[in-house]
Every structure is written in structure tokens, then in C-alpha cells.
Amino acid sequence: MWHNAAANYGDPAAFRERLNSILQALRGGTWALQQETRSGQEFQAWHDSWHSRIRGDEVLHWLVQTHRHSVSEDDLQPASTARVTLMANQAGEGRELAAFTVPPMVPAELIPRQLGETRMAPIVRAATVMVVERRWRAGDLSEWELLEALAHCWGVLAEPLREVHRQRGRELDVEPPEPESGRLPGQPECMSVSDKNKTAVFRLREGRLLGLEQSALEGEEGPPELTNDRAGSEIEEPNQPPKPDPLRRMAWYFEDARGTLTTEGSYDQRVSLFVPGQEWISVVLTPADKQDRYHLWSRVAREVQRTRAEAMLTIFEAAGRRPGEGQRLVLAAEAADGRHRTFSASIDRRGGQVHFGRTRFDEDGRRWYFLDPIREVWKTAK
């Protein structure tokens, strides 16, 4: 979950959605530790010592004592930042035309359009690249970048978990951090937020976002292509763990989308690709993508081929299929091995609130004709 949030750092809506998933998981982790250790004879002393540690830790206090279940836009707006730099490329080198800040929750694809209606319009037309550097902080934890704060929580919670395993005569397979690394025991080295995570690049003339979150449908940027070993053949490891099932959490993603729709009143369509080694990577759809549905899925198919994605999911609002039916929230997911899963629920908007009908599930994706270009890519690759 942490890495999925880092991969979507440049997308305000997707980042907040994944951030809240981490918060819920960490809170569940604190509860689970308490429940699993109640059988210990000296539980009370162990429990009290760790609660004392939590009370003295600024971030864990914020997570637990304030009953933090989610972070809203209002929580992020006061302390987060988004710095925009407009660049003109000349002879392969970038030349800065202008730099300024924008409200942190503004999606990158809306910034050029809004600037085009101001006195900065000539500068926008002269620029070829827009760089957006974000820093996500909560108003009541403003001294901490949020992903760094939650990585810190992971490290703190790993300590009692390791201790409990030692009491049971077992050891967790977690390498201790190097001296003076700044990491806590149990905190993986990979859980650090780099400048690359925090920066997204928008090509103005093409109207598409590039960067670590792979929001471009085409281009060199994004996940590197997978390659075989130098000898040109794949290496078989006898003890290699089984590959994760990309469709294993579709019900969770659908329920998460329902929560977003309930809270925000609408849900912008999103496409995600399951890329080996990186799992789900979100693709942000531009207004042009949404208007030209036919070419959209051909472009997604090319991206599936380029990244060797093993599955695809999309969540969207759809009109009813029969007369009199209202809108429905739909999740359609398909894997390269031919498996398909669809979740859907009717939407009823009344009095400013969103109500859902019964969730339906099926495994027949034949009616989703727009997936045919992707299916053809997988068929050809076999």
C-alpha cells in the first residue's frame, strides 16, 4: 500500500485514496498486535510499555490517539504544497520560463487550462514542459511529509512484532538497518520518498503527464521494460514464491471506489495496469482520452504491450443498460490468462447523498467490447 501511494504521489485524488488505505491498515495493525498478544502471561506490562512509547511518539500519537481513520482534502490543503515550473526545451536543455505555486489539490492536467485563462497564457504557449513538485503534509502533522511519517509508523510497529516473535522462539526475516541510517528496526530501506516520487512532468503540447506514477499512456518514461538475463534466457529459481494473483483484491478496490463516490459525490474514471514487479500502476485519463473512447483503449492496449502488463482494471460510472435504469458504478478487471471479474452497483443520488443498490458480481467480460484491443495483445503474446 505504501509503494502504491508513492507511485501516485503526483495525482492528488489517487494519492489521498491510497494514503487512507495505509492509515486504516496501520490502525488495524495496532489493534491486531494487542489481540494477538493477549495470551501472554505478562501482557499488561508489555502493553503498558508500548502504549507509553506510542504516547511519546508524535506520529503514532497522531495516528492512534486522534482516531485518525482518513485524511480529507481539508486536512491536506493548509500544509501541503505544489510548486510548478514551466520549461522551454532548447537543444535538449531545459530553460525555466516561470515558477510559482498552486493549490496542492489541483490535478496537473487542469493547471495549463487554468493558466491559459490568465495573463500567463503566452508563457504557457511558449513552454513545452511543466514540472510539478508536490509535498504532502497534514495540517495537524505539518512537520512530517506524510509517507515518511507512515514509514516511521511501520518501523515502530515492527519492533513489538519482532519482540513477540522472539518471545515465541522465532525470528522475523527482517534485516536490521545500517548504523546511522536514520531508519527504525524493521523499517525497509525502500520506504523512503525520493525527489523522483515527488515530481511529475507534464508535456504541454501532447497534454499528457509523465512520471513515476505512469500516468502517460505512451512514451519512454514510466516503468522500464522487463528483460531476460544476459544469456538471453529466463532464470528459473526452484524456491521462487508463487506470483501474486492480480485479481485477488478486486472486491476491496470496488468498495474503496464506493467510499470515494459516497464522500465526493462523483468518481472520475481510472485505468490501472498490473505490471510484474510493481503491481498496480494508475493511468490518469485526460479530458481528450474521455472524449475519444475508441482510440483510448487502443492506446491502453499499446501500453499493456510495452509494459508487459499482466492485468488491467478500470472503474467508472455507467448509464443503465435498460430503459429506466439509472447510473451504475462498475469495476471491470481482466487478466492475461483470460479471467475476468465485474463488480457493479446502482447509484441513487438523493438529497445530496449517494445511495447504492446491491453489489453484483460476475466473471463474464464478453459484454465489455472495449477490452478487445487488450485481449488481442495478450492473445498475440502467447
More confident residue, 280 or 172: 280
Q: Which of 151-155, 235-239, 273-277 comes out lowest in average pLDDT?
A: 235-239
**pLDDT at residue 133 greater than cutoff 90:** yes
CA max distance for the chain = 72
Query: What is the share, in percent, of the chain residues with pLDDT greater than 70?
Result: 74
> Phi/psi zone of residue 350: left (φ > 0), alpha (ψ -120 to 50 degrees), beta?
beta
Rounded Cα gap, residues 212 and 223, in angstroms: 7
Q: Is the pLDDT of residue 12 over 80?
A: yes
Write the pLDDT tens digit of every residue in 322-344.
666 678 899 999 999 999 999 88
pLDDT band for 45, please (50, 70, 90 cuts): confident
DSSP bridge pairs for 269: none
- Residue 137, CA distances (Å) to 14, 198, 264 in order: 15, 12, 21
pLDDT tens readout for residues 76-119:
988 999 999 998 875 445 688 899 998 998 888 888 888 877 88
Q: What DSSP character marks residue 354?
A: E
According to the model, what pLDDT value does residue 53 have?
73
What residues contact 328, with CB distance under 8 A and at least 6 apart? 317, 318, 319, 320, 344, 345, 346, 347
What does the pLDDT read at residue 88?
85
Asked if pLDDT for residue 16 goes beyond 50, the answer is yes
Distances (CA, A) of 88 to 45, 108, 127, 176: 63, 18, 5, 46
Higher-pLDDT residue of 58, 184: 58
What is the pTM for the complete model shown? Answer: 0.53
Give the C-alpha separation, 360 to 319, whole Å: 16
Tell me the pLDDT tens digit for each residue of 347-365.
988 877 888 888 888 888 8
What's residue 117's pLDDT?
Answer: 75
**pLDDT beyond 60 at 178:** no
Distance CA 33, CA 50 (A): 11
Q: Where are the domains of the chain?
A: 1-211, 250-381
Nearest alpha-carbon partner for 85 in 128, 135, 137: 128
What rounded mean pLDDT belongs to the chain? 76
> What is the pLDDT at residue 364?
85
Is 257 within 8 Å of 329 (Cβ atoms)?
yes
Q: Of 63-72, 217-226, 271-280, where does the model show the most confidence?
A: 271-280
Indicate the pLDDT class of residue 200, thresholds 50, 70 and 90: confident
